[in-house]
Amino acid sequence: VHKDFFGRIVPLSQVQRSDAVADLISSSSVFYQYREGFNNAVRRNVRMKDML
């Protein structure tokens, strides 16, 4: 939700909405990009207790 200087909600156009999603993705602290296939040299089994 975007607001102007006075706190009023500013409606977003469809183009601005798609740009806002791209901005949200680029500002995220975690980024994942899918690459087809895998390589066993970098593959590793990870347990949930290792993450916690």
pLDDT on residue 10: 81
Cβ-proximal residues to 12 (8 Å cutoff; 6+ apart), any chain = 2, 20
pLDDT on residue 17: 58
Q: What is the mean pLDDT of residues 39-52?
A: 77
Task: Pull the structure tokens for residue 30.
Answer: 């975690």
For the chain, what are the domain ranges? Answer: 2-51
Structure confidence by residue, pLDDT tens digits, 2-44: 788 888 888 766 545 556 666 666 666 666 777 777 666 667 7
Task: Give how far Cα 32 sits from Cα of 9, 25, 26, 39, Å.
Answer: 32, 10, 11, 17
C-alpha atoms less than 13 angstroms from C-alpha of 10 in its C-beta half-sphere: 10
Q: Tell me if the pTM is above 0.75.
A: no
